[in-house]
Amino acid sequence: MDTLSQTFSALADPTRRAILAKLASGAATVGEIAQPFDMSLPAVSRHLRVLTDAGLIERHTEAQWRRCELRGEGLRAAADWIDEYRRFWEQQFDKLEAFLKRTAPQDKTPLPKGKSDARKRRS
Amino acid sequence: MLASAVPDDRTLRMVHTFDASPERVFAAWTDPAQFTEWFGPHGMKNTHCSLDLRVGGTWELTGEGLGVRRAVSGRYLAVDPPRLLSFTWAWHETGDLDTPREHETTITLEFKPAGVRTEVTLTQTRFRDPTGAANHRWGWTGSFEKLDAFLAKAA
């Protein structure tokens, strides 16, 4: 599997997204991650391995503690991929806007002001 | 989350605004059919739930998933729909409700109208250690996400 597929596949699981959300507020030990509500979750080590293989987290060993940390670069590839499609649609909206202006009927029924500008609304 | 309002590290306080009326949010906590739909970390599925909703009444729930079976139970201390709900809370040693209960904490939920939404303040007290409070914060965070989704779906 290529890296991007591995990243999206790792993200396609609510438990793993919950682990990433937890790590977004700071590094945590495996024990801390494995115990929502004090439940011991044996499957968590499997989820951590998937996240590590996908480059989304890093595991360090400090003294006897194994700490997990978010790895920003891992998500960047996925975010860049989505961003390309965002830019594509922006261009399409710009073209559509130009087309609508060019072909607008010349009578006095203008479009409502400020509602058709996708770029302004997004910012 | 109002971390500053937490009096000590054996207490967990979380504030979350849900997109539904206090009546609906209160029902999501007190109707077994609704509670089983959203309670628990992502990846857990509840298998049994019984709630005897009156002061002194017991409540219990079992669930499985993520490689474990767990059971939790307690007793209602205050029931004032749709404003206040308070109950004791303890996990059992295993996923069976007839095994001994572990350390007991107390949960108080306050439901405050916030426009058309509801601000819920959860205060869980008497944790044995700060790790217990941190672990429960993570558990409630996932559960609240699931309750958000449940209320949106049921709307």
Q: How far apart are CA B57 and CA B23, in angstroms?
A: 21
| Residues A81 and A70 reside in one and the same domain | no
The total domain count for chain A is 2
Q: Nearest Cβ partner of A15 from B43, B131, B136? A: B43
| Residues A93 and A70 reside in one and the same domain | no
Distance set, CA A63 to CA A1, A49, A66, B130 (Å): 34, 21, 8, 21
Q: How far apart are CA B122 and CA B108, in angstroms?
A: 6
Give the CATH fold of the B3-154 domain: Alpha-D-Glucose-1,6-Bisphosphate; Chain A, domain 4 (3.30.530)
- d(CA A89, nearest CA chain B) in Å: 28
Chain A CB within 8 Å of residue B135 CB = yes
| Residues A60 and A84 reside in one and the same domain | no
| Cβ-Cβ contacts under 8 Å, B135 against chain A | 32, 35-38
pLDDT in tens, A71-100: 988 889 889 999 999 899 999 999 999 999
- d(CA A14, nearest CA chain B) in Å: 6
Which pLDDT does position B42 carry in this prediction? 81
Which pLDDT does position B66 carry in this prediction? 77
Contact A22 B91 (CB under 8 A): no
Contact A21 B70 (CB under 8 A): no
Which pLDDT does position B37 carry in this prediction? 96
Contact A37 B91 (CB under 8 A): yes
- d(CA B121, nearest CA chain A) in Å: 17
Per-residue confidence at A115, pLDDT binned at 50, 70, 90? low
| Cβ-Cβ contacts under 8 Å, B148 against chain A | none
Higher pLDDT pick, A114 / B55: B55
Which pLDDT does position B41 carry in this prediction? 85
Chain A CB within 8 Å of residue B56 CB = no
Q: Determine if the pTM surpasses 0.90.
A: no
| Residues A13 and A32 reside in one and the same domain | yes
- d(CA B91, nearest CA chain A) in Å: 8
Which pLDDT does position A123 carry in this prediction? 44
Structural domain that includes position A18:
3-74
Chain A CB within 8 Å of residue B136 CB = yes
Predicted confidence (pLDDT) at residue A58 exceeds the cutoff of 80: yes
User: Strands B12-18 and B45-51, how do they pair?
Assistant: unpaired
Per-residue confidence at A111, pLDDT binned at 50, 70, 90? low
Which pLDDT does position A110 carry in this prediction? 60
Distance of CA B107 to the CA centre of its chain: 8
Report the range of poorest mean pLDDT among A51-55, A116-120, B102-106: A116-120
Which pLDDT does position A113 carry in this prediction? 60
Q: Nearest Cβ partner of A41 from B68, B132, B134? A: B68
Contact A38 B91 (CB under 8 A): yes
Higher pLDDT pick, A115 / B67: B67
Low-confidence ranges of chain B (pLDDT < 50): 1-4
Q: Which B residues, 26 through 55, put their C-beta within 8 Å of a C-beta on chain A?
A: 40-43
Task: Give the 3-state secondary structure of residue A1.
Answer: coil
Predicted confidence (pLDDT) at residue A119 exceeds the cutoff of 60: no
| Residues A67 and A79 reside in one and the same domain | no
Q: So where are chain B's domains? A: 3-154
| Residues A104 and A87 reside in one and the same domain | yes
| Residues A48 and A84 reside in one and the same domain | no
Count of A-B CB contacts under 8 Å: 65
Cα angle at B137 between B133 and B138, to 5 degrees? Answer: 125
Helix (H) or strand (E) holding B46: strand B45-51
Distance set, CA A1 to CA A9, A13, A77, A95, B6 (Å): 10, 17, 15, 36, 46
| Residues A92 and A107 reside in one and the same domain | yes
Per-residue confidence at A63, pLDDT binned at 50, 70, 90? low
Which pLDDT does position A22 carry in this prediction? 82
Which pLDDT does position A94 carry in this prediction? 92
Q: How far apart are CA B146 and CA B134, in angstroms?
A: 19
CATH classification at residue A30:
1.10.10.10
